[in-house]
A and B are shown apart, each in its own frame.
Chain A
Amino acid sequence: DAKTTQPNSMESNEEEPVHLPCNHSTISGTDYIHWYRQLPSQGPEYVIHGLTSNVNNRMASLAIAEDRKSSTLILHRATLRDAAVYYCILRDRQQIIFGKGTRLHILP
């Protein structure tokens, strides 16, 4: 499976935008980029996914580099409830291969 690299942890202030980076230099043409997050004491939760174009939904935006070797999850206005571990995942099959993710701390 193609691998992703994310920072172990990040901090952001409440009500400010957060940019969570992900490197995936070995991505293949059929890999979709998915983001899930895991809030404390909960199961993982789908955030967003994309293939080539930037994507927006009610939770976040996903910016994908033109060469697809990196992507950035953007939370436009972080709240304390966004504190979680964020997983960037490449998928070309049914099962999800989770990495270590980025632990996002939100400062009030």
Chain B
Amino acid sequence: DSGVTQTPKHLITATGQRVTLRCSPRSGDLSVYWYQQSLDQGLQFLIQYYNGEERAKGNILERFSAQQFPDLHSELNLSSLELGDSALYFCASSVVGAGQETQYFGPGTRLLVL
């Protein structure tokens, strides 16, 4: 158990809909990362937050957005969903988000868009 929690575990929705994925980092960790894992693309970095502020952006679509709240939990919002958005979404956390820090990954949310 990494200490990172993600809800929900599974999500089934329809194309065009909007969903919110939630992540609670390990106690004391200030930085949160979001990753997408699909069969054809592998694990892709989406976005990083540190203490409520966006710090780095990866391959995140404009239809996707994220935020980190004062209690340090983070939410990833996916809108206008397409079939291709079906994937596993992982959240990870680290203490301060410095370059070489170990990231601790949550168990993921499996999203299925029908």
Contacts and interface: CB of A to CB of B under 8 A. Distances in A.
B38 to A, nearest CB: 12
Contact of A45 (B35, B58, B105): B105
B92 interface: yes
B90 to A, nearest CB: 5
Contact of A43 (B31, B44, B90, B97): B90
B106 A43 contact: yes
Interface string B75-114: 0000000000000001010100111111111111000000
B58 A43 contact: no
A97 B105 contact: no
Query: Per DSSP, are chain A's interface residues mostly helix, strand or loop, or mixed?
Result: loop
Given A91-B99, A98-B42, A46 B33 contact: no
Contacts of A93: 56, 99
A91 B100 contact: yes
Interface in A13-28: none
Contacts of B56: 93-95
A44 B105 contact: yes
Contacts of A45: 2, 105
Given A44-B103, A95-B48, A98-B44, 8 more contacts: A32-B99, A42-B108, A46-B102, A49-B102, A93-B56, A94-B99, A95-B33, A98-B42
Interface of B: 2, 4, 31, 33, 35, 42-45, 48, 55-56, 58, 90, 92, 94, 97-108
11 contacts: A43-B2, A43-B108, A44-B90, A46-B102, A49-B102, A94-B31, A94-B98, A94-B99, A95-B58, A96-B35, A98-B43
